[in-house]
Chains A and B, each alone.
Chain A
Amino acid sequence: MEASEHTNDFIPAALAAYGIEADEIELAVIRAAHQTLWPPILELLNLDTGEVPLERDPDLSQAPPSQ
């Protein structure tokens, strides 16, 4: 499926599933945001993070505990 087809299908379906209304201008903004962000989001979803232990409630004021 082409990216634009995916966007055309996904956006209205997702908004409808949440019960969120959007006018034409908002839809154009949402489509533009999706076309920009979706490819890197897909890359992120496919990133292999299997070996990375999630740092639960990290203390961002300090370096992570040494491994």
Chain B
Amino acid sequence: MSAGLDLSLRQQAAAIAAGDLDPAELLDATLARIEERNPALNAVVETFPERSREMLAAAPRGPLYGVPIVIKDEWPLPWRAQRFGAAEMLAPAAPGESGPYRALRDAGAVIVGVGNMHELGASSTGNISVYGPAHNPWNPERCPGGSSSGPAASVAARLVAGAVGADGVGSIRYPAAYCGLTGLKPTFGRSAMAGHHMAEVSTTIVSGALCADAADCRALDSVLFGEELAAGEPKGLRIGVIRGEVSEDVAPEVREACEAAIEDLRRESGGEVREIELPELAAATLATVLIANSESLGGVTPQRLNELDPGLSPLGRGLLKYRVLVPAMATIKAGLVRTMARQTLARLFEEVDVLACPTVPAVAPPLEAPMVELPSGIVTADEANVRGGALANLTGIPAISVPVGSSEGLPVALQLQAAWGRDELLLDAAEALERANGRRWVEATPPALGAEPLEA
């Protein structure tokens, strides 16, 4: 019995509201599907059926009444402290009502499980976690993306129709790209953030939705934003294509699919394409990493670093210790680069509506060795991915990843970025792209679920 499991998030909500779908049956079917499919994926690290049933029993008839949702292991719940994918977090963690939890509860949604994530949120791959890695439903030997690995794998495997992640340096968009989903990194400060262990210090992290398509993201992000994200038509879209490494040092099939998608979007919106130079991009990328890393060091002392939990990965322990060695002057310079990048973007967004580039330059790499081959050579996936993912976190602008093709049977994604507060425009543009390609990529499902392999 599928009991609505394969409906989209908004279809589930509409069917329940219309009385055509029993939310208790949907919850039971969701839990059964997690039990059936999750062992091969490790996307969901904990379920709590009684808590979920209690949530449903108390749920108001809100916009997501009865809709099952997975939430990343970055957000505390009243009955569970977040673990941040790690044996030790270096920050206080306790059960509580995080902003995303409250938003979901008040919308009537039902949290059915906690999604896996990369250890300490520190990678774009998702291949290291205290729970063991999550696997990519398109190919379980490939990375699901990080750090919101479990939320993405949960939606791609149709365990649930929507999941809540967090994005501090691309952590919603990378897994959305690797798993063939749509993922929005909201404008800084626009989505629910309360209760995050870094809410008071982070200038890069936001909560956001991962769903199959843009309309589902709009529905779930409206809940996280606490306001309706109205749909519109992106007429005459002025598309700026970022030239340089981020668009050109890219696997050939990824580049081809993204260029075709940009042309699709131009045609669908009746718009225009311009080439854009962003000479600060490399410095902005490094600045993002330095700022995000330094903001996580508040509770760290040398003694604490000498007593790290042995359950942390050697990579995690080494990187934590390296963060301390970065000179303060570099972080100060990073703040100046942030100012420069924000000023540059403010000028650019007077000339274009969206900036486009591949979300990631290559498809999901192997879990065992997350390296990617680019025209410039073989590099770590993290080194490659951060080139496109960091700018939005540094500057605060919104960004969205949209599936637009395939290579090696794995999804390929385009990233669109817009000016501050124009999250709705990105969702509109993503929907325009879906229309232009006949929704081919948002409706594709992994072969393990019985679908045909993706063809480019």
Cβ B396 vs Cβ A25 within 8 A: no
Query: Do A52 and B286 have beta carbons less than 8 Å apart?
Result: no
**Given A15-B321, A26-B314, A26-B318, A44 and B342 touching (CB < 8 A)?**
no
**From residue 22 to 64 of chain A, which have CB atoms closer than 8 A to chain B?**
22-23, 25-30, 33-34, 36-37, 40-41, 43-45, 47, 49, 52-55, 58, 60-64
B326 at the interface (CB under 8 A from A): yes
Which of the 9-residue segments B183-191, B208-216, B240-248 touches chain A? B183-191
Query: Which B residues touch A37, using CB under 8 A?
Result: 286, 289, 322, 326
Contact partner of B283 (CB less than 8 A), chosen from A18, A43, A60, is A43
Given known A36-B383, A44-B330, A58-B342, contact A18–B324 (CB-CB < 8 A):
yes
B396 A60 Cβ-Cβ under 8 A: yes
Q: Is the CB of A15 within 8 A of B339?
A: no
With both beta carbons as reference points, the residue of chain B lying nearest to A27 in the complex is identified as B318
Chain A residues whose C-beta falls within 8 Å of the C-beta of B283 in the assembled complex: 40, 43-44, 47
Q: Between A and B, how many residue pairs show CB distances below 8 Å?
A: 121
Contact indicator A44/B335 (Cβ below 8 Å): no
Report the minimum CB–CB distance from B311 to chain A (whole Å). Answer: 14
Chain A residues with a Cβ closer than 8 Å to the other chain, count: 39
A26 adjacent to B324 (CB under 8 Å): no
Whether A33 lies near B322 (C-beta < 8 A) is: yes
In the assembly, what is the distance between CA of A13 and CA of B190, in Å?
43
Q: Report whether B334 and A44 are in contact in the complex, using a CB–CB cutoff of 8 Å.
A: yes
B 374-389 binary contact with A (CB < 8 Å = 1; else 0): 0000000001000000
Q: Is the pair A63, B318 in contact by a Cβ cutoff of 8 Å?
A: no
The answer to whether A63 touches B302 (Cβ under 8 A) is: no
Report B131-172 CB contacts with A as 1/0, cut-off 8 Å.
Answer: 000000000000000000000000000000000000000000
B32 at the interface (CB under 8 A from A): no
Task: Report whether A20 and B421 are in contact in the complex, using a CB–CB cutoff of 8 Å.
Answer: no
Query: Is B395 among interface residues, defined by CB-CB distance under 8 A?
Result: yes
Contact A52 B340, beta carbon cutoff 8 Å: yes
Complex contact B315–A29 (CB within 8 A)? yes
List B294-313 residues whose CB lies under 8 Å from chain A.
Answer: 302-303, 305-306
Complex Cα spacing A10 to B295, Å: 23
Residues on B lying within 8 angstroms of A by beta carbon are 187-190, 203, 282-283, 286-287, 289-290, 302-303, 305-306, 314-315, 317-319, 321-322, 324-327, 329-330, 333-340, 342-343, 345-346, 349, 383, 395-396, 419-421
